[in-house]
Chains A and B, each alone.
Chain A
Amino acid sequence: MFIQIEEGYDKNEAFPHKNKMDEKDPRQGHVSSDIHILPPSPYTDVRKSSFIKGKLPPENEEILPKNKNVEKPRTSFLYDPRRKTLLGRSSLNWARLALFYTIFYFCLGMFFVILLTAFAWMLDREVPRYYNKDSTMAVRTTATVVGMGFRPQPEIDDSLIRITSDPHQQIRIASSLRLYRDVYLIQRNDAKIEECSEVEPASELVPGTACSFNWFHIVNTADHPCSDNNMYGFKNEEPCVLVKLNKVYGWTPSKGPLPPRIQDLRNIHSNKSVSKPDVYITCEGSNPADKDALHDVKYYSVGKPSGSIKYGIIPNYYFPYRNAPDHVQPFVLVQFKNLPLNRLISVTCRAWEPGMEHDSKAMRGMVAFQLFRSHLIEKPNIDDR
């Protein structure tokens, strides 16, 4: 063995010996041909590549350039300049992969779109598939949870209403409410509306028609404290805040005796079940200290008496909401007068009707916002936050 190896080295170093070498080992020059003259082995079929490599006489290894390049540099897996491969794939390979995935995703996308179209075709655009107690709106309860909203709300993630003496700020906040009013609270002349009353409640309307109710039903004169001219009260630092019940398809106040709180406020104590109760709205400070600060509150509502200092009323006949195009959700304007300066007041407004559930954590049947009255000129950048 040693002799042979030494000979092999000699051959590579000194070419004059080449003839002798060829005589002795005819396979020397033809790397591929020596496969055929190998004795048969049980491994040939299964370990062909290593077998061939393994069977080469040692001196052949230097002739084979491949063996030298087996050790690739470490970065070559990212980009191999020699073979022009990026992450082990040539450009052609990448193109092929891209083609495959283009087709694959196109087909998958088509499948998705077709299914979705079929579904959209089946879906009713007027009536939600699930509403009221069937919908997720019921959360984990069996009754519908109705929330409330307030306006103006200039910041999406803030429930603070600033009341200032600065006219710019006043315009800013008033325009927020005006925008809302113009979009949601106006019924045009050609709107499909009908007058609603206790005898002709919303529940008996033809589908697609809405009750006649809009902003001007409450703010009926230009010198109303909450009118446009008064910048909804912000001009006088006596803001009118719009408070409304959330629209919930098909929801109506449920039958039953009025809540004790309302009975107290109305001074009519009766546990008699009311079949079509109105919705009462009250606002007060969230905390005892806030309650003291809020002593002058006025409710303007469509229900009588408007301008009450106890509560606002949304008449029962405006319910239910049926997704009519011209529907305007009935609301109550709450005017806060004589607000203390430089004091943040948390206000909670609640809706009351026999079946209404209140949960201050989940804001069921209530809404909370803050009022802050100040005379300091606000730095613009704070507001831009």
Chain B
Amino acid sequence: MFREKLTTRKNLEALKHEIDLDEHKLSINEVYRRYGTSPAMGLSEERASVILERDGPNDLTPIRRTPEIVRLAKNMFGGFAMLLWIGAVLCFIAHFLELYTLDDPQYDNMYLGIALASVIIITGFFSYHQQAKSSKIMESFKYLVPQQACVVRHGKSRNINPDKIVVGDIVEIQRGNRIPADIRIIRAHGLKVDNSSLTGECEPQVRGIEYTNDDILETRNLAFFGTFAVEGSCIGVVIRTGDKTFIGRIANLTAGIERGHTPIAVEITHFIRIITIIAVVVGVIFCICSLFLGYTYVEAVVFLISIIVAQVPEGLLATVTVCLTLTAQRMARKNCLVKNLEAIETLGSTTVICTDKTGTLTQNQMTVAHMWFDNHIIDSDIDAFHTQSNYIKYSHCWSALARCATLCNTATFTDDPNNLSKPVLQRQCEGDASEIAILKCMEDITGNVSNYRSINSKVCEVQFSSSNRYQLSIHSTDDNDERYLLVMKGAPEKIIKNCSTIYVDGCEIEFNQFWKTQYETAFKELSNHGERVLAFADYRLPLNKYPRGYEFDCDTINFHVNPYFEHFNFPTDGLRFLGLISLIDPPRVNVAEAVQKCRSAGIRLLMITGDHPLTAAAIARYTGIITDQDTTEQLIENVFDNNARSCVIHGSTLKTMNSIQLDNLIKYHQEIVFARTSPQQKLIIVETCQRLGEIVAVTGDGVNDSPALKKADIGIAMGITGSDVSKQASDMILLDDNFASIITGIEQGRIIFDNLKKSICYTLSSKIPELSPFLLYMIFQIPLPLGTIAILCIDLGTDMLPAISLAYERAESDIMKRPPRDAKTEHLATDRLISMSYGQLGMIQAGGGFFVYTIVMAENGFFPSRLFGLRKSWDSRSINDLEDSYGQEWTYEQRKALEDTCHTAFFVTVVIVQWTVLLCCKSRRNSLFRQGMSNHVLNMSIIFETLLAILISYTPYINRGLMMYPLKLHWWFLPLPFTLLVLIYDEWRKWIIRKYPGSIIDQETSY
């Protein structure tokens, strides 16, 4: 067992290392040789089956699902429930001890044991149900496997089930297919793959046969299992299958990660420890006392157990669960779906948020950000456009640029009337992400692009390819110009080479050094914003050379095969430069605001992205994750400077760092952007943060984020753009993908922590009035003032709703302005909370209880002087004529009726004093008058608990069942002095705390 664990841990460590893959560096023939295959013939069926036998099928090991029974058991026996179980078992032990040793055994301990067991079971089922409801088991990796894959075997291509694919197979991939395994590309036609789930880059990536980068994700000649071929087609040789694929490793890594305890679980353990220590200490002290008082050993043991069990807060487990559930529901209404109840609080104590960029901070949708023409950079924000509309309308240059951008664009809106009726930004489109962005922009500004395109019909086009890095098309225009128009778009450095003139302010002038400098400045500025810049140019083909009907030969096919083919029968240089359009995947609205709020809440934000450092840094600046105004280059330098606040670090640099350096990096820089990070690195970053004692939240949407999501103290996935894998690995899902929802989550998490504290303070305060009657019964031998059933009525009846209602309490101060709680020092239950709850509120309640007990006894004839030492006679069935202070004689039945009346009165007293205890627990510092009474659930709960007490006391059959008696009306008013005392004392205490911070009252009583 242990060995097994050790080996899995070893495997996990291995998985954390980067995938070891060098096939992209080898020549294609070496790859063939390695896998014993050939591009034409593929593998033979026999060999394929041998390899299949060796490597196993090409699918991912399904995630081991926790059996339902185990999940249920976790809810039944975890943490708090365990404490109650121990309590229940002790109860049964005590009961059997009594049963076998006493002539007249009481059944109280048995009732208590049964009540405890039922509480655990009911609460267990409840939280299990909650969990099952919000966490859908998704076997999401399955969806990544393509339905059919086309492989070449024995020289023939055939469709086979993708799980039969083995390394060395030659696969053919068409547009729209999922890549069935990790492949080295042999041949590609305009292939573009969507790697967003692996890297977080939102644009489809061009793939071809060239080895362009050492990094396996960046090199062009590899395509990965589970990614999507959005355009083009290719043939490739399979180099990794199944769990060995890039995604397979991530999936296994994710599945293998075990998360530590949630902060709230740690807190509850801490709380249990405190409660247990107190219970055992008190129990042992009184057990020894009882021996000195002359009780037998068996009695002493029964007392010991009773005292210990009496301190188990029966209702608290249910209270905590319901409080968390209520918050979860409240958050669900704000589009945060919480899968794991305990995670709610985690968000509140989060100190670091590691956020993914693409899809989380940004919209994962390319949008036109800026344009440069007429030597001006124009913000393409629609609003900005309208303010500048006149300027634009009369700019010749703008119309030329717009014409070029509209025509030299292959993206189209999906032809569907329903789709076309939508607002432009929401329409479905087909084509390249940046082309779509430009299309939408043009549609928005000029309107009716398709009509414009049809009247300026396309004569010929050269598609964009990774090698030429431009695209051009030739149109016949409708502006009464007989000449053909050549429009070209592409990478600026490529276009600039082909231009000889520039169009400025309606004049075509020479593209001289001055304008080149101007262009450089603009280009630099735009790309420093992390924007992707495209340049536009056009050219009127001379009518004499290229008359109407001229046969343009674009030779696209030829062009693709030989990317250096440039022998078109028309010129592609000497063009007129029009301007630049820059694109960016813009941050979501509200993100900057949310980041600012995180800041003021004392939470650090780290950006971890697979994207390019420049883009990452730009978005980081835009959203406020980096507040340093230095250039990105400087920020990259900052990695080595521990005094710098911000830095940007590249994944390749990160790879060279050891754990100490990593610790220092994260310790000394407040604002860090990790760019070009691999999933493994994301995981390592999260681990480093955790090692430094931070509570880490990770947001992400891609497959690449899932190990980090799983490892984080709380993983937050995106509901719309998020991959199923990431959703499965996370604890919380933002249904609207809105980063700002995290703020709500943090706020709710912090409120619930505060409110749980209040709830615990409230619930524990009734423990002393429940315990002290028994102690006095034991020591002073008075008739028992409060029985077990009454205790259960308080704990599981009247106290429940008020304790839960505290979950609805609003925050006392602006909790988003204070730093997250320090998990090391700020605990849920502190000694001061216990001292306050037990020693002060509890004692006042107990005082009230004994006061009412004394009066009920006295008014029925037993003066306090008579009560002391009476226990044995009182509890003896044989004594049928016990004399009271008025000489009256009471039978056993009558005495017990009186005793039960006292229990009822004591119970009612606790309920009535709890009114103000509840009001006091509403706030920890604020006066009640400032905190207000706007929590209507709480107000209702006070009425409810009182009605419940009335019901229990007066309803004929219920009171008989619960051994309660109707009370005289005026006994209900007896607790009021103590009720007021609680209020006055607590207001005074809080006033001292506010007025003299640091005073003895503050130090000893503020929890």
Which residues of A does B touch, CB under 8 Å? 1-5, 38-39, 41-43, 46-47, 51, 54-55, 57-58, 87-88, 96-97, 100-101, 104-105, 108, 111-112, 115-116, 119-120, 123, 126-131, 135-137, 139-140, 145, 147-150, 153, 155-159, 244, 246-249, 321, 323, 327, 329, 362-364, 367
Contact = CB atoms under 8 A, between A and B. Distances in A.
A367 B851 contact: no
Q: Which of A1, A101, A115, A321 has the most CB of B within 10 A?
A: A1
A-B complex: 6 closest residue pairs judged by Cβ atoms: A149-B881, A147-B891, A246-B889, A1-B640, A129-B859, A362-B893
Nearest to B956: A140
Contacts of B890: 137, 147, 246
A96 B1001 CA distance: 10
Given A2-B661, A46-B602, A136 B901 contact: yes
Contacts of A127: 886
Interface of chain A: mostly helix, strand, loop or mixed: loop
A4 B640 contact: yes
Interface stretch (B323-331, B679-687, B700-708, B840-848): B840-848
Given A55-B668, A111-B847, A139-B897, A248 B888 contact: yes
Contacts of A128: 859-861, 884, 886, 888
Contacts of B998: none
B642 A57 contact: yes
Interface of B: 103, 599-600, 602, 604, 627, 639-643, 645, 657, 660-661, 664-665, 667-668, 670, 818-819, 831, 835, 839-840, 843-844, 847, 850-851, 854-855, 858-861, 864, 872-873, 876-881, 883-884, 886-894, 897-898, 901, 960, 965, 968, 977, 981, 1000-1001, 1003-1004
Contacts of B627: 42
Contacts of A129: 858-860
12 contacts: A2-B661, A38-B643, A97-B835, A119-B858, A139-B897, A140-B897, A147-B880, A156-B878, A246-B889, A247-B888, A247-B889, A321-B887
Nearest to A144: B894
Contacts of A43: 599, 602, 604, 670
Contact of A136 (B600, B864, B878, B898): B898
Contacts of A364: 891, 893
A1 B840 contact: no
Contacts of B877: 157
Contacts of B965: 136, 140
A42 B599 contact: yes
A112 B670 contact: no
Given A147-B891, A249-B861, A363-B891, 19 more contacts: A2-B661, A4-B642, A5-B660, A39-B645, A46-B818, A55-B642, A97-B1004, A100-B1000, A108-B843, A120-B858, A126-B886, A128-B860, A130-B861, A131-B888, A136-B898, A140-B960, A147-B893, A247-B888, A323-B886
Contacts of A247: 883, 887-889
B370 to A, nearest CB: 28
Contacts of A329: 889
B860 A156 contact: no
A384 to B, nearest CB: 15
A116 B876 contact: no
Interface of chain B: mostly helix, strand, loop or mixed: helix
B661 A5 contact: yes
B1000 A96 contact: yes
Contact of A139 (B657, B819, B894): B894
A320 B135 CA distance: 74
A156 B879 contact: yes
Contact of B664 (A5, A321, A367): A5
B836 to A, nearest CB: 11
Given A112-B851, A247-B883, A47 B831 contact: no
A181 B134 CA distance: 77
A163 to B, nearest CB: 18
B878 A159 contact: yes
Contacts of B891: 145, 147, 246, 362-364
A366 B977 CA distance: 43
Contacts of A105: 843
Q: Which of B839, B879, B891 has the most CB of A within 10 A?
A: B891
Nearest to A112: B847
Contacts of B661: 1-2, 5
A132 to B, nearest CB: 10
B880 A363 contact: yes
B977 A147 contact: no
Nearest to B857: A136
Contacts of B977: 111, 115
Given A1-B661, A54-B667, A123-B858, A137 B888 contact: yes
A385 to B, nearest CB: 12
A41 B879 contact: no
Q: Which of A119, A126, A157 has the most CB of B within 10 A?
A: A157
Contacts of B858: 119-120, 123, 129
A108 B844 contact: yes
